[in-house]
Structure 1
Amino acid sequence: MGKQLILAEKPSVARDIAKILGANENKKTYYEGKKVVVTWALGHLLTLKMPEDLNKNWQKWDLESLPMVPKYFGIKPLPRSRGQLNTIKKLAQRKDITEAVIATDAGREGELVARWIFEYVKLQKPLKRLWISSQTTKAVKEGFAHLKNGRDYDNLYQSALARSQADWLVGLNVTRALTVKYQDNLSAGRVQTPTLAMVRKQEEKIERFKPQKYYQISLLAQGQTAKMQMKNQFAFKTRQEAQDVVNQLKQGQVSKVEGKEKSQGAPLLYDLTELQQEANRRYGYSAKKTLSLVQSLYEIHKVVSYPRTDSKYLSNDIKATLKDRLRAVKNLAPEAESYLKEGAQIRQAKIFNNAKVTDHYALIPTEQTPNYAKLSGDEHKIYTLIVKRFLGIFAKAHRIKQEKTTVNFGKEKFIFSQSRVLEAGWKEEETPSAKVTPFKKGQTITPNFRIEEKLTTPPAALSEGALLAQMEKHGLGTPATRAEIIEKLIKSELMERSGNMLKVTPKGKQLLKLVNPSLVTPELTAKWEKQLEDIAHGKFSRQAFIKEITSETKLLVNEVKSSQANYQDFSLTQKKCPDCGAQLREKNIRDGKILICTNTECSYRRRAEAKVSNHRCPQCHKKMLIVTGKNGDYFKCKYDGTTEKMEKGGKKGKKKMTKREERRLMQKINQDDEPQESALAQALKAAMGK
């Protein structure tokens, strides 16, 4: 009997699958057992070929060669990936390997990772698909016991391929057109540009806003306050206008007392986007950080279900697992014990809806009890959010009694609103409140008014959570890609974080004026995203989609070519290059800012500001600065002026990596879900190196 070749997305996942399936023989680049061989990708090992790989005329960045529309895209290995590709190729060709299993992430990008690899190594054997929603031992075993036919996911692969080719066509062509035309690194794309425009649109609302002063009349009675009911709350522009009205209000009477009980069930479960919004609102986490944390909970700790989901519902088959999931969280949430004693009674039946579960169900805890000592503080917070939302399935409804009292002073009306908590239910932080003093119909109310000066408030800037909500509303990106899109905009210096808010840079504002309006508004991109979904479900063809994208790309490029718009490079400084005399441009890099020469023939660059290193001063033992001088970088202590030379590679000498540093590095590699280097990233790198 032959063996299965199993391809996981990351080394950590491959290791866990190998352990579960008994593949205990470690061969460095794969694991082997009696029935299986388990190997891995490193995220993407391949990418679409670059323009210069396809056509020698596309090597030079100029407007004449645009638009670039390949007849055939083709794929090529990413840097440093050939070793692992060769391993997979040799394994695929082994005579004892009779079939392959795709065990990468069960989503669009995971499908692309594996399909490209098996296409590149020319796999000639049957293909199966592992499709699971959690990484627990039980889920993995059940998944391998019920493997799917790999060809059942052909449409998903076609959708992933279409997304990749569309980003190549729009991103590389428009980016190259803008970069060449305006001689600056200007990055545009079919999703990132309308996303940037959303942030700018909110900024424009704030910029147009002019505060207005107005006056508000309130009535005070029985320790409560009610505002005067007005069609236009900003009607009183002066205190005197408000006072004139108050002078006419002599005696009030309660005309109506209404009481109504309201019951509110627990909210739906989290999908990834809502979890990112909540984590941003509560803790200020970026979308990328939340995704990294929940991916770690899924992959490393195995305590939550598949994170990159767009569903807030559960399929009916999950009902049988609820008691085990409750047992797993009872140490964190004591109420889980009481729900178990009640027989795990489901009180939010609407959450179970097969029709609303797409590739994966909502984010919930798995049946595995966490080792809380191994969770970081941030992981603990995210896990707690998911658990608390999950417990809402079993919680009673939140019940309140709302009481409204209407008081009339002639034609003018005031409404007092009170609410009492009758039963906290799933809102456990709210306790039942004491009875309030009621009003009675016909009761006389003595005039007791207050006039307050108010100012209209401007719209708030977009937080990352608010931007995610906007992207979801307009169909921009997917739960799996939205965090990456936001990060790309920041790395491209088109957008920046200001506290927990986002703002468009001067460079970004200009970009939005330089590209075609159809790429700025979300409608066109939302239409493309809908078509990608249709391709995944077999309702639309990739060929028809790419044909439409190609037509749009030609229009977008021609718009840039014919534009008469002016562009100002805000990164230019007044400093001169010491080698050739050209102006220096300031550029952000991962660990600070650098100055680079604008002369394409000159390679001069230096740090714009000193960087704090981890190297300690031999005199005062404080961290030293890395300073750029005539002979290159050197260490300098800002406290006592001590200087030291730097060895090649930027260190004073080779220092062995500590166990902690090694662990952090491996965790980063295992959590890195982005492609190692996208086609657009490579193109921009080439542009910056010109």
Structure 2
Amino acid sequence: SERGLGTPATRASIIEGLISQEYIARDGRDLLATRRGIELIALLERIGLKTLTSPSLTGEWEYKLKQMEQASLGRESFMDGIKKLTGEIVKRVHDFQEAQQQVELPEMDLDCPCCHAHGLKNTLDAVSCRSCKFSIRKVISGREMADEELKTLIVDGRTGILQGFTSRFGKPFEAGLELNDKCRATLYFPAREEDESAVNEEAVKAASVTVPGMGEHDVMETAKAWKLPTLTAGKENTPVSVARTILGREIPLDQVLKILSEGKSDLMKGFISQRTKRPFDAYLVFNAKLGKIGFEFPPREKKYPARKAAGSGKNAKESKESKGKEGKPKAK
């Protein structure tokens, strides 16, 4: 009980700090560790600083702060402990970094795809060129790349579709790697079946809608989506479409028209979270700049009514009258 994690206000500010630094992220009303946060914890354990990932350290500091409040621990003693721990952290990180840089694997007998210099430096973390700034990390989106995969990427400029990547929310996905015009490794994604069959997919006009600032457009009905071929948005000017079913909830035409014309649907019930499998209610909103459909959640309802201040109201008056001159209850 003496080794807690601080006040509720302190915990709230810590959570907001973790979100702003992208170590955790909000998913509706849940908090999820991001890939960046998971990788940081794994790195600290590799360095030998597992104590920084444990709440017991914060609890110990809270206990010592309470001792200082009670004058049973001096400030100098507390600060000496903080300085000692900080020095140890810096030294371990520095030693680990130096050790990583000194470990060099056999050179890759390949030409640099940027400057065409022969021979690429090969370390535990990356494959890089000694003559220019070309470099490819060996861990991409949470996936450790094999040397053969890196060689294929460097020689051919592209790999096939690979499994084992993880998103910033920790969800697995498959993708391929390719070198862009600046010789940087970027992800590309497999074509979805519905995209491949889109050319042969029958589309029937369902309605017309006026999108504010973007004119009037036909809404075409297909088996899997409501499509607007003449309404494009985003950097690649992709035609706007709304899936017929989103998270298990069917999206009717009247709501599609409302989303596009007013920017927001009615409150829709029955969406199913992919992560928790629990139902939730939300509005669907249209981002005209990106041409994307997103969620907006209704405000939370207050579960508990506000309590009246102690010592007010009828009960307080009766309690006061029942006491004697010395503030003690009257004898019956």
The answer to which structure has the higher strand fraction is: 2
Fold conserved between structures, TM > 0.5? no
The answer to which structure has the higher helix fraction is: 1
Query: Normalised by the size of structure 1, how large is the TM-score?
Result: 0.17
Query: Normalised by the size of structure 2, how large is the TM-score?
Result: 0.32
